[in-house]
Amino acid sequence: MTMATATEVQNNFGRFLKVAQEGGEVVILKNGVEVARLVSREKTLSFLSDQLVGVLSGDVDEKAARAERMARHEGSR
């Protein structure tokens, strides 16, 4: 993973784009805070699914969760 300031990315976009095209990831910082990531199209899906690991429990009852969502939706009408 490569970290760069917003100014560095602005001034050297081609270099950071190449990093992403080659499968790398560029974390863009503004005032020391992460504000964006530059990743290739191929890595986007895996990046998003990796971020969900641990968020969704494996023991979720999908039918019960759907019924709960439907009940909330019906109640909002």
What is this structure's pTM? 0.58
Q: Which residues pair with 30 in a beta bridge?
A: 33
Check if the beta carbon of residue 29 is closer than 8 Å to that of residue 6. yes
Q: Write out the CATH class of domain 1-43.
A: alpha beta
Residue 3 in this model has a pLDDT that exceeds 70: yes
The string of pLDDT tens digits covering residues 15-52 is: 999 999 999 999 999 999 999 999 988 787 666 666 66
pLDDT at 35: 97
Q: How many angstroms separate the CA atoms of 21 and 19, rounded?
A: 6
- Name the amino acid, one letter, at 15: R
Domain locations in the chain?
Answer: 1-43
